[in-house]
Structure 1
Amino acid sequence: MPGAQGPLSQEQLRLLTATLEAMPEGALIVSPDLRVVAVNRRFTQLFGLDGAVDTSYGAPTDPLVAHLVAHHLPHSGEMVELYRQSLKRTATARSQVSRLAEYRVRDGRMLRRHLSPVRLGGAPDGTLLGHLWLLEDITDRQAYEDELRHHAGVLGDLARERATFTARTLHELRTPLATVLSFCDLLLDPATGPLTTDQSDFLTAIHRNARRLRDALDGLLHTFADDHARPLAVFAPFSVPALVTRVALHALGRSAGSPAPFVSVSCEEGPEPVGDEDLLEDAVTALVSNAVKYTPRDGSVEITARPLPTGQWEVVVADDGIGIPVEFQETVFEPFVRASNARRSEYPGTGLGLSTAQDAVRLHGGSLCVRSKEGVGSVFTMRLPFSAAVPAEAREPRRSRERREPRESRDSTA
């Protein structure tokens, strides 16, 4: 009879059967000598065993195997003995490993089988009572998962088509913008000839707004274009103090002649990290531009850069501007998210600056975080390892390219 220590008592059997009946799956416990220990109604319903096979305590499993082979499993005849031998090997196995399998029965249902050893007392070295067979009908779930995979594939195709279309459209829009900016530069150049005050003001406004539109398009291109449409990152050693100083001077130059907060820069010397200087310059530019934009004219912006003993560079941009509400401090790095106080104020922006900056920092194995209090100010901290893990496609000599003017902030938040 079942159990290496003799038959189960009536109380033990009653508790075991009640436990199996509480399970949503079909459950069967087979003893090491291939007899039924316990079975629940769900198991008998799955295979139509009521009245067809004896499933009482101590009944042999041979008739059960024969019934399953004849009516449900995809084989018959000589397969009865093969299934019986497989059942015997499982029932007498000493392994503690649970097994999971899925198979389709003749009527088209998909069943998931979970097989686990059952030991008295639950201890790994306890007496083996048998093996628990749990069977679950996952036909509907499988169909749902198949349909979900199909829809996911369709959505993926649509997303790639959208990305390709968006990238091409944005490239087409950038071409005339580049022409506008070039002619503005030419007309503003003193060598071209003198301009009246009104003409100079008009051209400056055109140039400023064309740059803003170009940077918005660049942000959209970064967000929507697929990986193949984006320029490859080019990793090479660069100077963090030089980068930070260049961004700060550019921010000061843009604010010349207009009310702006006081900007201070403090940079320590240190080892040159390896990374894409242009991408990181854009990231720092986004932080500094936002700080200047959202800080009142009587406020201040402090930019510091220093190497850390942990083998990282730390760049901090602190301001005493409008700050970021608590509920936006986690989502502020997501695309198109702008804090509520930034939207209420007349600050232009697309909500892409911080998202793009975080992508650039993560590409270099670094981190970007914020501490802020609404109405008090914000502190953005960027940390970059001295030696980033260089992506395979970027492992090439740095292309010689002319240092471009840092972009305007793509603006993200407050």
Structure 2
Amino acid sequence: MSRRASIWRWQLIFVSTTVAIAVLVAALKPTVFATPLFTAGLLLSLVATIVVLVLPWDRIPPAGILAVPMVDIVAIGLTTQAPDIRLGFLWVIPITWIATYYSMIAVFGGIALITAFLFTIANQTGLFSDVVLRVLITAFALGFLGTTIRIGVKRSRASSRLLRRRSEQIDRIARRAETHERRVTQIIDALDTALVALGDDGVILKMNDAYRRLYGVDADGIALPAPAVEYDDREGEPVPVHRTVLARASRGEQLDGERVWLYDADGVWRALEVSTRPMASDADQGAVNLVRIDDVTAALAAAEERRLMSAILTHELRNPLTAIVGHVDLLLERDDLPARAADQLTVVAGAAERMQDLVTTALDASRPARRVLSEPVDLHALVRASVSSFLPTATAGRIRVDVTGASALLIYGDAFRLRQVIDNLLSNAVKYTAAGGSIVVSLDVADDALAELVVADTGSGMAPADVERLFEPYFRGEQAAHGGVPGTGLGLVTVRDIVTAHGGTVDVHSRLGEGTRMRVRLPRRPERNDA
């Protein structure tokens, strides 16, 4: 199809030029048509064009195609017989055609045919030397044109072949690089160690599946509605945003096996060991740091189990040792003991006492520290810390979050569990609030004995039937079930249990399409509660 289109294009250019000239001649000098050869040349051009449009050129060899521009040369030669009409310049078209697709031999063949016409058919009035000069000038001009075009075509084709080979090489290199990158990514994703490549601007450049699972982010690095929260210790204090692992790594801090506790999106405590290493980067990219995060929860659990087993064994050894020491003391109090037996019992007593000291030391070391439930807690500080954790997710969803009310609100309770309450309420508000909405967290004192925390959003809201069942385990409202919002239906159950354990209450006000208002009331005085 490309060969046929090319032949048609060249022939149509030629015949359209010829027809245009014939129209001009008919309008300005119609007497020229009285010249038989001129008319014959025009008819030959039209007949050649019709033949070109009809023949199946895909089945004709290149040598047969060469006949078309040669016929055009003959047609132009016939038209040059007309007096006072210089149509020889039209030979440029077939010569250009031949030079574009055929060798210089074919070009010289076409020029030879033109020369023959100039000598035999064209108007040769005047001196022979003038005729020869005109023929030679025409032949040299067409030869120069054909040679120049032929050289240009050769260079163009050579450049095209070179570019094609270069393009193929680049494609092969790109495919190999892509395959290599996929293999490296698959290897990295298969690791249990979480890896993150981080720029100095805090942007994640690359991460593996282990990090996504650990921190609850999707494939694009966007935090899910319930992101993991870093703590300075198990059930300790939440780490401020500017002190998180990624924030410190982006500032270039070098970490080596630093312990961080993570409360993940599934409500599971995970112990992490974090290390950072600088990576190679170019000048435009800036500094790049590799963050390596190992989940050592299982190792710590195994160590805790060993510690507990050691404590149990130590405790069980204490009773028989106490019996040994007691009975040895009773024997040493007897007056009828032989001197050698008393000495031996003294050795036994000393060894038993030393063993008792070792057991007591090991038992004390194996006892875990007990956390006091009722301790002073600034509820406003907990709210600020929780809002800071959820603010990136809310900002990405174009949700406004405001904190209003008391700037400091002291109560007594368990800071870790109260943070869980705030996190769950904020998580739900962010999940069910559409882009452009808002969330307001307010703190106030209901009376001298109660602190009041309210989380109000402009989200989808709930039907009355859903509100009544909101605190049932695993219950999810119709909006959540059909809207594809992730969740387990246990978050508000946890909120209710923690608030109840603190002697407080939680209530809900929600209307479908108008948002939800969650209110938590907590006693400000210390509560005696073992929950």
TM-score by length of 2: 0.34
Larger radius of gyration: 2
Higher share in helix: 2
RCO comparison, higher one (Cα < 8 Å, 6+) = 1
